[in-house]
Chains A and B, each alone.
Chain A
Amino acid sequence: EAGVAQSPRYKIIEKRQSVAFWCNPISGHATLYWYQQILGQGPKLLIQFQNNGVVDDSQLPKDRFSAERLKGVDSTLKIQPAKLEDSAVYLCASSLAPPRWGAETQYFGPGTRLLVL
């Protein structure tokens, strides 16, 4: 079974530039998550999708971050414009269904490491 795929693996940009990350979840997984992991901290949920609908985006800085999952499969996360404090690893995860339906296990991708200079 193929895992969660993410690209690019690394990205270096200057502040005020834009950047986009891509995630392809495990086939058949309806729930998709984007997390931000700052060095030395645990992952923080940015947004959760159920199919192509947003379940939770309460911690997404909506003035600069956006995410979409148009066809309920792949997802993109965009930052525009980037700030120095956005330097982090961005992790994508997927699960078969939402946890409230009993699908507890999240499968994580390798992450995209972003450095904003």
Chain B
Amino acid sequence: KQEVTQIPAALSVPEGENLVLNCSFTDSAIYNLQWFRQDPGKGLTSLLLIQSSQREQTSGRLNASLDKSSGRSTLYIAASQPGDSATYLCAYRMKTSYDKVIFGPGTSLSVIP
């Protein structure tokens, strides 16, 4: 059974802090892994996509890493801002059925001004 866990479930930090969100998955044969952002009342927005052959991707203050052997990915947010407050979800595609995306439950982030 494909399963994704995200720790912590919720996180509250003061503005300016660097933080790490964790994602663990049970399926080692992944095709790629994505990090999404979800704002209340809105859909999901893709932040970063890491192919199985890559180890990390960066976009601005965001850096995502992938360790297939341990079944883990981390999303690093540098110098957090109140506008970063949202729920962050990781999701992966399997090699055997890469039309399907398996989502984690998300980490709810609150950045306090």
Contacts and interface: CB of A to CB of B under 8 A. Distances in A.
Interface stretch (A66-74, A77-85, A101-109): A101-109
A91 B34 CA distance: 18
A4 interface: yes
Interface stretch (B13-21, B41-49, B56-64, B73-81): B41-49
A60 to B, nearest CB: 13
Nearest to B51: A104
Interface string A1-40: 0001000010000000000000000000000000000001
Contact of B43 (A40, A98, A105, A110): A110
Q: How large is the interface on B (under 10, 10 to 19, 20 to 34, 35 or more residues)?
A: 20 to 34
Interface string A106-117: 111111000000
Interface in A44-101: 44-45, 48, 55-56, 91, 93, 98-100
A104 B99 contact: no
Main secondary structure of the interface of B (DSSP, over half): strand
A55 B100 CA distance: 10
Instruction: Name which of B32, B34, B44, B91 has the most chain A CB atoms within 10 A of its CB.
Output: B44
A44 B103 contact: yes
A93 B91 contact: no
Contacts of A107: 43
Given A42-B4, A104-B32, A109-B43, A99 B93 contact: yes
Contacts of B99: 48, 55-56, 98-100
B105 A106 contact: no
Given A98-B99, A104-B32, A42 B43 contact: no
Interface string B15-44: 000000000000000001010000001111
Given A44-B103, A108-B43, 14 more contacts: A4-B43, A42-B102, A42-B103, A43-B89, A43-B103, A45-B100, A55-B99, A99-B93, A99-B98, A106-B44, A106-B101, A107-B43, A110-B42, A111-B41
Interface of A: 4, 9, 40-45, 48, 55-56, 91, 93, 98-100, 104-111
